[in-house]
Chains A and B, each alone.
Chain A
Amino acid sequence: MSDTRRSLRDLEQTNDFVRRHIGPSESEIQVMLGEIGIESLDALADKVVPRGIRNSGPLALDDSTTEAAALAELRGMADQNVINKSWIGLGYYGCHVPTVILRNVLENPGWYTAYTPYQPEISQGRLEAILNFQTMFCDLTGLELANASMLDEGTAAAEAMTLCQRQSRNKSNVFFVSQDCFPQTIDVVRTRAEPIGIRVVVGDHRSDLVGLDCFGALLQYPAAGGEVHDYRSLVDAVHEKDGMVVVAADILSLTLLASPGELGADVAVGSTQRFGVPMMFGGPHAAFFATRDAYKRSVPGRLVGVSVDSRGDTAYRLALQTREQHIRREKATSNICTAQALLAIMASMYAVYHGPDGLKTIAQRVHRLTATLVEGLRRGGIVVLNETFFDTVVVNSGDTTAEIHERANGRRMNLCRIDSARVGISLDETATRSDVEDLWSIFGVQQDFVEIEAAAEDAIPAALRRTSAFLTHAVFNSHHSETEMLRYLRALMDKDLALDRAMIPLGSCTMKLNATSELIPVTWPEFADIHPFAPREQTLGYRQMMEQLEAMLCACTGYDAVSLQPNAGSQGEYAGLLAINAYHESRGDAERNVCLIPSSAHGTNPASANMVGMKVVVVNCDADGNVDVADLRTKAAKHADTLAAIMITYPSTHGVFESAIEEICAIVHDHGGQVYLDGANLNAQVGLAAPGKYGSDVSHLNLHKTFCIPHGGGGPGVGPIGVRKHLAPFMPGHRLLDEEDSPRKGGPVCSAPFGSAGILPITWAYIRLMGRQGILDATRVAILNANYLARKLGAHYPVLYTGPNGMVAHECIIDLRDIKDATGITVDDVAKRLIDYGFHAPTMSFPVAGTLMIEPTESESKQELDRFVEAMVHIREEIRAVECGDVDPSNNPLKHAPHTAADLADGEWNHPYSRAQAVFPVDKLRACKYWVPVGRVDNVYGDRNLVCSCPAIDDYRDVA
């Protein structure tokens, strides 16, 4: 053997994951560097990132490690979490995730690596699943329109409040919240109300609401303590004063209860967690938001609608997008970008799987067991305070309260800690006979189960029993065998193009690898089956993991502290701006309310500023998309007394490291403002530069971009904020964290103390696996990949906005405006034609109309980049054929893209190009082809004829 003996260190392959995560191999990296004429990754970073902001040393992270070792470390922490049966309730319930859904949706990259369905033709599967979700909530709530999901129940309630404010004819500034709402919901609503001048009145709805002049009222159904109130007369009273009513409802109970719509509610919201989504220590979960048709243009978030494709066949799409922040900016209804698509899909599939009868059976079982529990307790002399209930009751435990909790813990059960004299018990679908017996014995009661069960009576008031049918649609009544369910899931998934098929080169979205090892721990019961309000001593593993994660994120960004609570990037912006507001206020600077925002900013920035009561002042950008420093100086000086903040994206939304960033930060600081640096483009700088060190005060970090949390087909997102020391006290707090050593002063921005805690192990695993050097290499290769594409595509399309050295950052923009002027071929046409080549389109018309923004990320191999270049070059030739007059400007492969199998099957083929050119424009596609399920979707038809739910069964009958 001539090989020199390799070190054991080398053979242990502790770097192995780095080369799994990063697409190009060492030798490919050299070839690509050669293509762009740069000798090394170091030299590339020097050319792209301004010297002044570069990190001076390596990141304070550990070395990389193996997947096995990282999983073992996580396992060690998971084992410190204690799984008690949770009877805590308050919006989070144990449930059985149908295993067919667990494995084929939650654990399946075909679903979780997809992007938000902005390109409807390649998203029909999840659009259908979300349409099912919307349909389900129209039915369960008795309202006409439901959206594609909200971040959680608390934020949904807050959004409902602002909808009422926009729509109510009552113009008072008072919003009433029943004290029987979940406490965390009340807190989130309060946080949201304060900066926009809404006065929240919390009170007893039975005595305080009638006669109150308010624009809206929020009621919980059933109430937090389990009571099932008949709200009809209260709804009438509020309506009489021109106010609106929001009902926060429990979805399982709605299968047995009269719907909020039948009670007269204008809006219904609630969590969908208990429909087959684990508690995950607080999230992510989807919330629902349903309202009357009249308010459809005021609904926050996303809405799936039905339209037709180019063949006239039914096709789905996101509807009414003009309501959203990316178009309306500060006039948007909300800053919400994300839904909780993956979790909404799980909840909808739970209903597809069980069907209306199955759901009702589950609800009746939970109710019967609760009634049996109550009957047994009462016969044993225990005082249960409820007159009515569905699954939740409050027990008068008096002096024995502490003892009761201790005994419950002894039986591995958690009860709800209401106060020192009362405990709450919420049963769920996991509850069994023996659980009821155990609960009796915790209260010192021994009963004969069979006898008590036989005597237990329903406790839902007769007037509130549901009489209306629900989920009568075919989809909820067809897939009840596992075989059918499996095939339905597969059929939908096959319609979509996710990262498991091809690169998704969306600029500003960072669609990088979501590694399997990073995802595996998410469904470990020790992480999945923990209630967010479980006692601290049962969640030590979670806390350790999160503490380490906070330190890792501080190391990556240069900030001093991190809040993991915000559960979307938009919510991070909101939390960060609230912290800035509170900071100014703490210094007696409450009048500071001007937020400078460059004209190139993403629309979420002004929408967020608006949500915290700031006044947006737009700063001009120059022709290259850089901030016009002179204009910034003028405006900062003009508003020196009222300047609160600047919101700036870095590298810019145009994908350039502006050299003036330090100067920009300094100007804002000199005029008393704070710098909010939007972390959307963090993937270009981790390890190279740290926002917390070069002048920013606060950023949100899109963990679903830079830090590997999958996009889930349109959520979950996670948007922690990093802050410098002076802002740390003002980060979001939570009532459950008030006992911590140094509680944070900010109000909670979402329901759970740690937001979407359940998916944080993904980011922990990513950073742990990559280590100090791997994280840096990821950034450098992300920049290399973008520059390689810019160089290769630059020979065929103009590349816009390069930095001083002719380089781009981690994404590049190609300009199609001249092509459009010359040929009529639009960005849309190119995007849809890319589908025929098996690609998801890059970001269209952002930040500049008529352009495509391409972000390959470090995870794409040279081979995949070359495949994309090949497609784009071919498309350029197809455009040239139009330019030369060789093909008709309206009848060519671009204008008719994408091409479906049905197109090919048409008897007549009225195109000047062949069927083969339509679907196999490059030969490789013959071996591996993504067949798009629908032709180009008609956006205009969909918005002019808005339909947001499945056709009712009656519609089928009408046709038949």
Chain B
Amino acid sequence: MSTIRFTRDHEWVRVENGATGTVGITDFAQKQLGELVYVELPEVGADVEQGTEAGVIESVKAAGDLKSPVTGSVTEVNESLPDNPGKVNEDPLGEGWFFKLTLAVNSGLDSLMDQKAYEEYVKDLE
């Protein structure tokens, strides 16, 4: 059973069985940034906190932090991304994932938007 949730900063987290999550940025975010040229990933084992910097994303004209959508502990990173950041543009919700983590007890997941709420949110921005 998986659920996907979104942040106002356009990150997503897909949670399996309420315990492990996969993190990336949304299609809206990748379109705003343009073609990515660089990503920096967290270290496996690092503890990340909701809303704080877990990585770096750069296109040729913009740079931003990748903030972790939830609190947890990093278990795996997408090692193919640094060599091929274009994957994020091509498939932001799939192959372009950034890292996986084990959710903390108070992960903050409940504060995030569901798919419908996020779509509304983005519509307002456009």
- Chain A contact residues, CB within 8 Å of chain B: 297, 321-323, 327-328, 845, 939-940, 942-944
Question: How far in angstroms is the closest Cβ of chain A from B9?
Answer: 16
Q: Is the CB of B63 within 8 A of A322?
A: yes
Q: Is the CB of B37 within 8 A of A940?
A: yes
Q: Mark B37-67, 1 if CB is under 8 A from A, else 0.
A: 1100000000000000000001111110000
Q: Is the CB of A944 within 8 A of B58?
A: no
CA–CA, A328 and B58, complex, Å: 11
Most B CB within 10 A of own CB, among A845, A942, A943: A943
> What B residues does A942 contact at CB under 8 A?
60
CA–CA, A204 and B86, complex, Å: 50
> What A residues does B63 contact at CB under 8 A?
322-323, 327-328
> What A residues does B59 contact at CB under 8 A?
322, 940
CA–CA, A944 and B63, complex, Å: 14
B24 beta carbon closer than 8 Å to chain A: no
Question: How far in angstroms is the closest Cβ of chain B from A110?
Answer: 29
> What A residues does B92 contact at CB under 8 A?
none
Q: A940-B37, A943-B38, A944-B37 are in contact. Are A322 and B62 (CB under 8 A)?
A: yes
Question: How far in angstroms is the closest Cβ of chain A from B52?
Answer: 14
Q: Is the CB of A327 within 8 A of B62?
A: yes
CA–CA, A323 and B63, complex, Å: 8
- If A297-B38, A322-B58 are given as contacts, then 16 extra A-B residue pairs at C-beta distance below 8 Å, sorted by A number, are A321-B60, A322-B38, A322-B61, A322-B63, A327-B61, A327-B62, A327-B63, A328-B63, A845-B61, A939-B60, A940-B37, A940-B59, A942-B60, A944-B37, A944-B38, A944-B85
Q: Mark B62-98, 1 if CB is under 8 A from A, else 0.
A: 1100000000000000000000011000000000000
> What A residues does B86 contact at CB under 8 A?
944
Most A CB within 10 A of own CB, among B35, B37, B58, B59: B37
Chain B residue at minimum C-beta to C-beta distance from A943: B37
> What B residues does A943 contact at CB under 8 A?
37-38, 58, 60
Instruction: Jot down 11 A-B pairs with beta carbons below 8 A, ordered by A.
Output: A321-B60, A322-B38, A322-B59, A322-B61, A322-B63, A327-B62, A328-B63, A845-B61, A940-B37, A943-B37, A944-B38
Chain A residue at minimum C-beta to C-beta distance from B83: A944
CA–CA, A322 and B85, complex, Å: 15
> What A residues does B61 contact at CB under 8 A?
321-322, 327, 845, 939
> What B residues does A322 contact at CB under 8 A?
38, 58-63
Question: How far in angstroms is the closest Cβ of chain B from A936?
Answer: 13
Question: How far in angstroms is the closest Cβ of chain B from A290?
Answer: 21
CA–CA, A322 and B38, complex, Å: 10
Question: How far in angstroms is the closest Cβ of chain B from A295?
Answer: 14
> What A residues does B60 contact at CB under 8 A?
321-322, 939-940, 942-943
CA–CA, A943 and B61, complex, Å: 11
Q: Which bucket holds chain B's interface residue count?
A: 10 to 19
Question: How far in angstroms is the closest Cβ of chain B from A128?
Answer: 21
> What B residues does A845 contact at CB under 8 A?
61
CA–CA, A321 and B63, complex, Å: 9
Question: How far in angstroms is the closest Cβ of chain A from B62?
Answer: 7
Question: How far in angstroms is the closest Cβ of chain A from B61?
Answer: 7
Closest 5 CB pairs of A and B: A943-B37, A322-B63, A939-B60, A940-B35, A322-B58
> What A residues does B37 contact at CB under 8 A?
940, 943-944
> What B residues does A939 contact at CB under 8 A?
60-61
> What B residues does A321 contact at CB under 8 A?
60-61
CA–CA, A321 and B58, complex, Å: 10
CA–CA, A361 and B37, complex, Å: 44
CA–CA, A845 and B35, complex, Å: 17
> What A residues does B62 contact at CB under 8 A?
322, 327
Chain B residue at minimum C-beta to C-beta distance from A828: B61
Question: How far in angstroms is the closest Cβ of chain A from B3?
Answer: 33
CA–CA, A940 and B33, complex, Å: 12
Question: How far in angstroms is the closest Cβ of chain B from A310?
Answer: 15
CA–CA, A833 and B102, complex, Å: 51
Chain B residue at minimum C-beta to C-beta distance from A945: B37
CA–CA, A297 and B37, complex, Å: 12
Question: How far in angstroms is the closest Cβ of chain A from B92?
Answer: 16
CA–CA, A297 and B85, complex, Å: 16
> What A residues does B85 contact at CB under 8 A?
944
> What A residues does B58 contact at CB under 8 A?
322, 943
CA–CA, A940 and B88, complex, Å: 14
Chain A residue at minimum C-beta to C-beta distance from B34: A940
> What A residues does B38 contact at CB under 8 A?
297, 322, 943-944
CA–CA, A929 and B40, complex, Å: 45
CA–CA, A684 and B62, complex, Å: 30
Chain B residue at minimum C-beta to C-beta distance from A324: B63
Question: How far in angstroms is the closest Cβ of chain B from A96?
Answer: 41
CA–CA, A461 and B82, complex, Å: 44
Chain B residue at minimum C-beta to C-beta distance from A328: B63
CA–CA, A940 and B58, complex, Å: 11
> What B residues does A323 contact at CB under 8 A?
63
> What B residues does A940 contact at CB under 8 A?
35, 37, 59-60
Question: How far in angstroms is the closest Cβ of chain A from B125?
Answer: 14
Chain A residue at minimum C-beta to C-beta distance from B60: A939
CA–CA, A944 and B84, complex, Å: 8
Question: How far in angstroms is the closest Cβ of chain A from B53?
Answer: 10
Chain A residue at minimum C-beta to C-beta distance from B57: A322
Question: How far in angstroms is the closest Cβ of chain A from B38?
Answer: 7
> What A residues does B35 contact at CB under 8 A?
940
Most B CB within 10 A of own CB, among A322, A328, A939: A322
CA–CA, A321 and B34, complex, Å: 15
Chain B residue at minimum C-beta to C-beta distance from A940: B35
Question: How far in angstroms is the closest Cβ of chain B from A331?
Answer: 8
Chain B residue at minimum C-beta to C-beta distance from A849: B61
Most A CB within 10 A of own CB, among B35, B60, B61: B60
CA–CA, A297 and B86, complex, Å: 19
Question: How far in angstroms is the closest Cβ of chain A from B25?
Answer: 16
> What B residues does A327 contact at CB under 8 A?
61-63
CA–CA, A940 and B86, complex, Å: 10
Question: How far in angstroms is the closest Cβ of chain B from A869?
Answer: 28
Question: How far in angstroms is the closest Cβ of chain B from A846?
Answer: 11
CA–CA, A323 and B85, complex, Å: 17
Chain A residue at minimum C-beta to C-beta distance from B84: A944
Question: How far in angstroms is the closest Cβ of chain B from A584?
Answer: 31
CA–CA, A183 and B10, complex, Å: 51
Chain B residue at minimum C-beta to C-beta distance from A845: B61
CA–CA, A327 and B37, complex, Å: 15
Q: Mark B13-44, 1 if CB is under 8 A from A, else 0.
A: 00000000000000000000001011000000
CA–CA, A939 and B35, complex, Å: 10
CA–CA, A944 and B59, complex, Å: 10
Question: How far in angstroms is the closest Cβ of chain B from A195?
Answer: 24
Question: How far in angstroms is the closest Cβ of chain A from B59?
Answer: 8
CA–CA, A323 and B35, complex, Å: 16
CA–CA, A614 and B58, complex, Å: 26
> What B residues does A328 contact at CB under 8 A?
63
CA–CA, A940 and B35, complex, Å: 7
CA–CA, A327 and B35, complex, Å: 16
Question: How far in angstroms is the closest Cβ of chain A from B28?
Answer: 16
Question: How far in angstroms is the closest Cβ of chain A from B72?
Answer: 25
CA–CA, A481 and B63, complex, Å: 46
CA–CA, A297 and B39, complex, Å: 12
CA–CA, A328 and B61, complex, Å: 10
CA–CA, A30 and B49, complex, Å: 64
Chain A residue at minimum C-beta to C-beta distance from B65: A331
Question: How far in angstroms is the closest Cβ of chain B from A746?
Answer: 32
Question: How far in angstroms is the closest Cβ of chain A from B82?
Answer: 11
CA–CA, A455 and B113, complex, Å: 84
CA–CA, A620 and B60, complex, Å: 27
Chain B residue at minimum C-beta to C-beta distance from A939: B60
Question: How far in angstroms is the closest Cβ of chain A from B64?
Answer: 9
CA–CA, A942 and B38, complex, Å: 12
Question: How far in angstroms is the closest Cβ of chain A from B73?
Answer: 23
Chain B residue at minimum C-beta to C-beta distance from A941: B37
CA–CA, A939 and B59, complex, Å: 9
Chain B residue at minimum C-beta to C-beta distance from A322: B63
CA–CA, A845 and B61, complex, Å: 10
